Structure 1
Amino acid sequence: MYPSIMSMTSSSGKTAKSNVGGHNEDLRKRNSTLHGLPLCFSSDIINSGNAYNHYSPNKIFKLGELGSGLRPRGDVQDFYQLKQKWLAIRTRTGELFEDTTFSKPDSVYAWYAENNLVQGVTWLRPKDIVDNPKLFVDGVSRFDVQQGKFGDCWLLSSISNLAMHRDMLLRVVPEDQSFEEKNYAGIFHFRFWYCGRWVDVVIDDFLPTKNGKLICVQSGDRNEFWSALLVKAYAKLYGSWGALDGGFSTEATEDLTGGLSTTEYNLTAIFDNMLQDMGKNHALIGCATPAIDANGLKSNHAYAITKVLKYKGVRLLRLKDPFGDEVEWNGPWSDNSKEWKSVPDNVKEELGMRIGADADGEFWMAFEDFQNHFNSVSTCYFNSGSLNKDGKRKWKIGTFDGEWVRGVTAGHNGCKKWGISKGSIDHWGAWLSNSDCLLRPVQNLQYRINLGQPDQGNDKCTVIVSLMQKHQRVNRKVVEMLDFVFQIYRMDKPHELPKPLDSNFFESRKAIVISNGQLWADSRSIGCRVELPPGDYCITPILNSKDKEAEFLLRVCSEYLTNMEEWDEQIGLCVENNDSVPHSSKVHSSMDYNDNKSKLQDFEKYANGALEVGWKDLRKVLQDDFGEDFREYQCRSMVSMLDKLDSGKIGFREYVGLWNDIGKWRTIFNKYDKNGHGHFETFELRKAVKSAGYNLNNYTLKKLVRLYESNVGKITFRDYVMCALQMKTMIDSSGKNLEGTSTKSATFGLCSI
């Protein structure tokens, strides 16, 4: 290596071919896991709030399988079963597999086609396009990806980058398939990371053509089809070819690697980070141009950054255009420019400079020109175990699935005017300059992270945080991308702080980090790379609208992440609360109602002379005693919760307890129904239930609201009674000693909810 050259890059050119397309005797033993999978950080997961955490983190789900996060589209397809079946059919009849779960339309939407539509599409198998189709020709290369008519440059630039990492590419494109006669049945499969899970997608090999030529991505070699089939599988993952039109390279790179992505818009000081990211930090980097054509660069277009280096003090970048055509950057350091004349040929070869090569869409430019012509840089950090032997950084990750629920965890209680601007945040997205616009995320989900020690040779820890709203590309025709953000707060002495953090906490300090200074209505994920001192921090994902709902995935990545947990209280009794009431069963027996013979006689009347009532008679008794017309399902639920004998009825003793509780709960309800409108907002339910003496966490709160909320965003008295009774019944059933201390907590599931 020449001393004047400092380079951080992945390997370039074609990678060595190793048993690609060979027939495996046991079909990789019906591979349902990715053994030693580094791309989903499986060996370094600190903690997980994943609803599917009972599955192995290495598990590969079939598309539509329970746990895949996607609904089935017909029968769930098992590649290995189907392949064996169709190999036998092909031997007998010559028929090949045809996928009935993914259509082959006569016309397809394509951004670069006339009127954005290709009509008269003919779907052909590769064997009908060329004489000798192959999955790979001489291994894989970034030049195997050339854009067609679709507006999928954001995807293809990521695939180009992926092709420079053979081990990663073969996670997505399994080797147990080929066009070789003994192994070919017209069926292929590809694997993608989807919202925290790896999903196996089965396709046939029909590809869209016009006049015998592919209109989708193609390789520089007409006989090579891995890139075209990969894109087809990605289109199927998201439901249609049209779903590929327009996107961010961060989405595609995450889906291809399982990594965490960040996007930077201030490009003035990022070169050194890019240099490091290409090396020690395991990263794939992409970039995008604004809506202006200049010096051969295409507008609103995604490019892959395939190399970052310094040569004799000049900061240089190598970029790859997915179109792979002759339209390239034509400024300084472009192909055949005067700047290259002083560079020795052996240096060019050492650095992988293809100067003078045929039009391939790859070019070089100086970093100063790059800043002037590109408006964003996206970096995806992954963790490849095979690279750690080279001394590169190994990340640890914490991950949590969460949900913004209308009236529970969606929205915020501060900064009513969304006034956060790009200029109000420094390069790392730190301190907001206008405290009036600081969000107060009291009702939002809160996550605590602990950073154990600083990076080597530094006094701070490098942390990457990524927040993704889930399922939005699949649902993009019917679900809008929502405005969202996350904030990070320092937590000093966390053992002294309340769970969850309250308004006093957020009103007494500012967020030290905010994810972005600008929000996009069509962005799937946001992320940032920051340096923080060792210690404890709280991350709060915030949805701008309190009337919307969405699922999200929060991931935190750091070399020294030691713990991640949801910062929330345990379900149980809250005896310190001044508004709470005693829960001893002795209280019930001392109430006046228990000695009121006339009331007992009324109860017997409704019970037709017996000492127990079903839901219909209970409804009448409650109407008479409280003037409330409880609904049928509410009365049925009450009987179900209070029925100790499983008889479908409750006795007078149970009703006395219910009567006592409803009286107390009415007093509490009136406190929160400040305007006397007969309801309070769902955001108040947690405090109202706590006033009744019960702690509940966000998960339970969400379930209660969705089960008992009569009107969106509003809790009526009847709703509140059902919520309080549900909590009381569940906590009672979790332990008989209801006179315990405030440390008592319920560890039950929510099957009854």
Structure 2
Amino acid sequence: MAYNQELLAKTPIIRFKEQNFYSLRDHCLKRGLLFEDETFPAETYSIGLPLLKGRNLSNLTWMRPKDLLKGKSEPHFILEGASRFDIRQGEAGDCWFLAALGSLTQNPQHLQRILADQSFSHQYAGIFRFRFWQCGQWVEVVIDDRLPVLNEEYLFVEPCNKQEFWPCLLEKAYAKFHGSYVNLHYGYLPDALMDLSGGVVTNISPHVSSPDLVMMVKKAAEAGSLMTCGTLAGPMSESTRMANGLVSRHAYTVTGAEQVWYRRSWEYLIRLWNPWGKVEWRGPWSDGSPEWQEIYHQQKSQLYEHKDDGEFWMSCRDFQENFSCLFICNQVPISLDHGNMPHERWSQMTFKNHVIPGNTAEFQRDVQYLFSVPDSMESSNVVVSFNIMPQNLKAKDRMFPLNFEVFKVDSQFQHFRERLPPTFFSKFRMAEKGIVSQTPRNLTECFSLSPGTYVVVVSAGREAAEFSLRIFLKMSDSDRDLGNNLNLRPLKIQATLPEDSSQQSIFYKYSQQGPDIDAAQLQSLLNQEFLKGPPGDTFSLDQCRSIVALMDLKVNGRLDQEEFSRLWIRLAHCQSVFQNTQKNSRVFLSSDLWKAINDTDFLAGVSVSNELLGLMSLRYSDSSGRVTFPSLVCLLMRLEAMTKAFHNLSKDGRGLYLTKMEWMNLVMYN
């Protein structure tokens, strides 16, 4: 992830319609004027007549936020943080954009890049700016803050907090970016996701197993991915509220997923948000439904909120019956075979070009991009992503305007470095096939390619088109510098998770579908599912009893799903520390303990004396001074637990007084 975020940060910013925000603002401030945007004027054609059909236009006005509030309060750009609950859809059918925006609010770092630092107080001149991704670059769009109002009601996005205007202004900037508000009336979720993030979109079937779907959504959310979904079309062409509370042909934000223990089995839930606000699912697991009364109080308090805010839970079964698509947008592709792993790295090649209609053979010679797939056994290892300049598209266009194919280059042509000759393009040559997701503006295709050299060949359809092309190549394990004889399998997101490849699936397998696991089950789990190494380096039963005691908040000798999740995070971090601390000989020595303790995030602020370090070396290393991975895990986790116990029991931070029973309970269990 860091590689691609750094790449995006260095991308130059282009001025839309060549408007310089700072020059325009400074001009207005010097003259005491409020900015009026001549490139997107306060006129009906900036809205579009289809959205005003049957309306009395004599009552249409454009008003600034200060005027809308009529002096009763001051407007704010953002008030108490930006949230999806600040948004409520208006007359335009732009739920596809607002659902993507709702997901973006869960990633403050990326949202800030779109919104920038703006206010109605500091250097206010009626001018605002927003950024969108277009054809491989960030484009800054400048607007004035006049909003269309009809009969004193907002025509489009209405701020849920009457004083907070970032959603209205952002929607206006996006309308200008597309030419008018009417051009936002129906669109494609992948387009909005890419415009707001510059990422790559993966279309995932909602019809995978419920445990896999929940795991995929949870891990994508932790990775900061944007997630949206859409309902099936109803009998009417327009979006219509159905009896179950859902809206047909409508976009929703996916905001979370969880599993709960319900009637002696696991129930898998998805959480969604509706850009309409206040219109929610009415079926099982909805707000106020009886199912919530039959789960553990702790889980209910963490998950359940009875609010009329457009957000709700529903079961995975109901989700799969009512939703036709699920899109996940990330800065790097999500591999459908192994998922998006925290350690997974991709190399990226980016190109910009334009094509015009002409002789196909000519353009097969001229517009081609060669790349190499390294030695890797992984599937879904190449992603090709096209993005078309919107100005090249017409409103009636429903097809992607480019033609492209991917061919493997055989040995007799591999000495060509930039362009293949016409003799390569035999009519008998077969193109590679992948999984395709496309809209009129964006096309992404995921391939599983064997090692070798390949060429992407691009040609125009009926019209000329300017495009950007990104080729993502998954890096092999050796390139990721993850090689180690002792290795924890990382968490993964994928469309169909094998039973042993996800945290929750592993937990369910060894808990035998129960709500918790004991030390013996944990020992089997760690040694069979996680640990690869010499037989002597496995977790012993005594070590697993110690780990359970350290993580057991309920003091019942077992770990529930939440406690196991906390353990999982620490195991993954201990793995990283273990790998990074080892010498070139790949042996972790007791002399490395000081560095390991200092590099452990959950031990931040913990100091260790030389005397204590020596005692820990005696306790956790063997006669040759070697420390195994299980021993390191027990050391680091015990050091954390004992430090916390001291701070919890000490009244002055310097010492503590315990009764005999308190002391015995502490040392004999924890």
Classify the TM-score, shorter chain.
0.5 to 0.7
Give a deviation string over 1:337-375, Cα, whole Å, max 9, x none: 23322233432444xx34311x21111222222222112
Aligned mate of 1:97, from 35, 60, 64: 35
Q: Does 1:178 align with 2:119?
A: yes
Name the structure 1 match of 2:351.
400
Higher mean alpha-carbon deviation, 80-89 vs 482-491, is at: 482-491
Deviation at 1:106, TM superposition (A): 4.4
Q: Tell me the distance in 1 between the aligned counterparts of 2:348 and 2:41.
A: 38
Runs of at least 5 residues in structure 2 that lack an aligned partner in the other structure: 235-239, 334-340, 478-670
Quote the residue 2:582 is aligned against: none
Match of 1:355 in 2: 305
How far, CA to CA, are the matches of 1:266 and 1:448 in structure 2?
A: 34
Q: In structure 2, give the amino acid aligned to 1:62.
A: R
Residues 461 and 560 in structure 1, CA contact (< 8 A), matched pair in contact too:
no
Amino acid at match of 2:431: A
Corresponding residue number in structure 2 for 1:525: 442
**Structure 1 vs Structure 2 CA RMSD:** 3.6
- SS of structure 1 residue aligned to 2:167: helix
Task: Identify the residue that residue 406 of structure 2 maps to in structure 1.
Answer: 488
Do 1:449 and 1:561's aligned partners in 2 also have CA atoms closer than 8 Å?
no
Q: Which of 463, 466, 472 does residue 382 from structure 2 map onto?
A: 463
Q: Kindly report which structure 2 residues correspond to 1:431-450, keeping only aligned pairs within 5 A, or say none.
A: 442=364, 445-450=367-372
- 1:129 maps to a residue whose letter is L
SS in 2 for 1:278: helix
**Which of 96, 107, 120 matches 2:59?**
120
Give the aligned residue type for 2:230.
A
The residue that corresponds to 1:288 in the other structure is 230
Alignment of 1:41 with 2:2, yes or no, is no
How far apart, in 1, do the equivalents of 2:183 and 2:6 lie?
24
Determine the C-alpha separation between the residues in 2 that align with 1:510 and 1:196. Answer: 30
1:357-396 alignment runs, 5 A limit: 357=307, 359-382=308-331, 391=342, 393-396=344-347
- Residue 503 of structure 1 deviates from its aligned partner by 6.2
Deviation at 1:264, TM superposition (A): 4.2
Secondary structure of the residue aligned to 2:328 is strand
The counterpart of 2:95, out of the listed 129, 145, 153, is 153
Residue of structure 2 in register with 1:198 after alignment? 138
Structure 2: distance between partners of 1:37 and 1:61 = 22
Letter matched to residue 420 of structure 2 = P
**2:434, 2:459 → 1: CA distance?**
11
- 1:437 maps to none
Partner of 2:467: 552
Q: CA deviation at 1:135?
A: 0.5
CA contact (8 A) 1:262 1:466 kept: no
Q: Take 1:364 and 1:112, find their aligned partners in 2: how far apart are those partners?
A: 33
How far apart are 1:475 and its partner, in Å? 4.7
Q: Report Cα offsets for 1:149-203 as digits up to 9, x if no partner.
A: 111111111111111111111101011x2111x4211111111112112111111
CA distance in 1, matches of 2:95, 2:21: 28
Match of 2:281 among 320, 329, 338: 329
Q: Identify unmatched segments of 5+ residues in structure 1.
A: 1-35, 44-56, 65-75, 385-389, 414-440, 563-753
Cα deviation for residue 289 of structure 1 reads 1.6
Alpha-carbon spacing, 1:529–1:369, altered in 2? closer, same or farther (3 Å): farther
AA partner of residue 37 (structure 2)? D
Does the CA-based 8 Å contact 1:110-1:150 persist in structure 2? no
Structure with greater helix share of residues: 2
Q: 1:442 to 1:217 in 2, by over 3 A?
A: same
Q: 1:243 to 1:86 in 2, by over 3 A?
A: same
Q: 1:218 to 1:242 in 2, by over 3 A?
A: same
Match of 2:436, SS state, is: coil
Call closer, same or farther: CA 1:186–1:379 in 2, change over 3 Å: same
Structure 1 vs Structure 2: percent identity of aligned residues? 33
Residue 140 of structure 1, aligned match among 79, 82, 93 = 82
Aligned equivalents of 1:332, 1:465: Cα separation in 2: 40
When structure 1 is superposed on structure 2, of 264-273 and 334-343 the one drifting more is 264-273
User: Separation in 1 of the partners of 2:258 and 2:464?
Assistant: 44
Over 3 Å counting, the alpha-carbon distance change for 1:496 and 1:193 in structure 2 is: closer
3-state secondary structure, aligned to 2:191: helix
Separation of aligned partners in 2, 1:273 and 1:556 = 27
Q: Check whether the contact 2:434–2:447 (CA below 8 A) recurs between aligned residues.
A: no
AA in 2 matched with 1:447: Y
Q: Which residue does the alignment assign to 1:538? A: 455
Which amino acid is the alignment partner of residue 433 of structure 2? V
Which residue matches 2:108? 166
- Relative distance call for 1:381 and 1:149 in structure 2 (3 A) is same
SS of the equivalent of 2:59 reads: coil
Larger radius of gyration: 1
2:365–2:421 contact (8 Å) kept in structure 1: no
The answer as to whether partners of 1:467 and 1:541 remain within 8 angstroms in 2 is no
Alpha-carbon distance in 1 for matches of 2:412, 2:178:
42
Instruction: Specify whether residues 539 and 37 from structure 1 end up closer, same or farther in structure 2 by C-alpha distance, changes over 3 A only.
Output: closer
Q: 1:78 to 1:335 in 2, by over 3 A?
A: same
Cα pair 1:442 1:506 within 8 Å, conserved: no
Partner Cα distance (1:525, 1:119) in 2: 40
CA distance in 1, matches of 2:429, 2:231: 38
Greater shift, 551-560 or 315-324, is seen at 551-560
Q: Secondary structure at the match of 2:85?
A: helix
Q: Which residue of 1 aligns with 2:521?
A: none
What whole-Å deviation, never above 9, does each CA across 1:522-580 have from its counterpart, x for those lacking one? x211213444444433333455x4x4322222212344299xxxxxxxxxxxxxxxxxx
In structure 2, what is the Cα distance between the partners aligned to 1:249 and 1:173? 20
Deviation at 1:102, TM superposition (A): 1.0
8 Å CA contact retained: 1:106, 1:120? no
1:60 aligns with 2:19: no
Is 1:319 aligned with 2:319?
A: no
Aligned-pair CA distance for 1:140: 1.1
Give the AA of the match of 1:160: G
Q: Work out which of the residue numbers 230, 233, 237 in structure 1 matches 2:177.
A: 237
Give 3-state SS (helix, strand or coil) of 2:76's partner. coil
> How far apart are 1:505 and its partner, in Å?
5.7
- The 3-state SS of whatever aligns with 1:221 is coil
Q: Is the 8 A contact 1:192 1:256 kept in 2?
A: yes
SS at match of 2:183: helix
2:579 alignment partner in structure 1 = none
CA distance in 2, matches of 1:112, 1:337: 38
Residues 181-260 of structure 1 aligned to structure 2 (within 5 Å): 182-260=122-200
- C-alpha distance in structure 1 between counterparts of 2:472 and 2:296, whole Å: 41
How has the CA–CA distance of structure 1 residues 281 and 223 changed in structure 2, closer, same or farther, with 3 Å as cutoff? closer
1:248 Cα offset (Å)? 0.7
User: One-letter code of the match for 1:338?
Assistant: P
Q: Which amino acid aligns with 2:347?
A: K
- Whether the 8 Å contact between 2:357 and 2:463 is mirrored in structure 1 is yes
- 8 Å CA contact 2:126–2:144 kept in 1: the answer is yes
In structure 2, give the amino acid aligned to 1:356. H
- Offset from partner CA, 1:570-595 (integer Å, 9 cap, x none): xxxxxxxxxxxxxxxxxxxxxxxxxx
Work out the CA distance in 2 between the residues paired with 1:166 and 1:534.
39
Partner residue in 1 for 2:484: none
> Which of 419, 432, 443 is the aligned partner of 1:512?
432
Q: Contact conserved, 1:488 with 1:538, CA < 8 A, in 2? A: yes
CA-CA distance at 1:82 after TM superposition: 2.1
Distance (whole Å) between structure 2 residues aligned to residue 248 and residue 459 of structure 1 = 31
Q: 1:109 offset after TM fit, Å?
A: 3.9
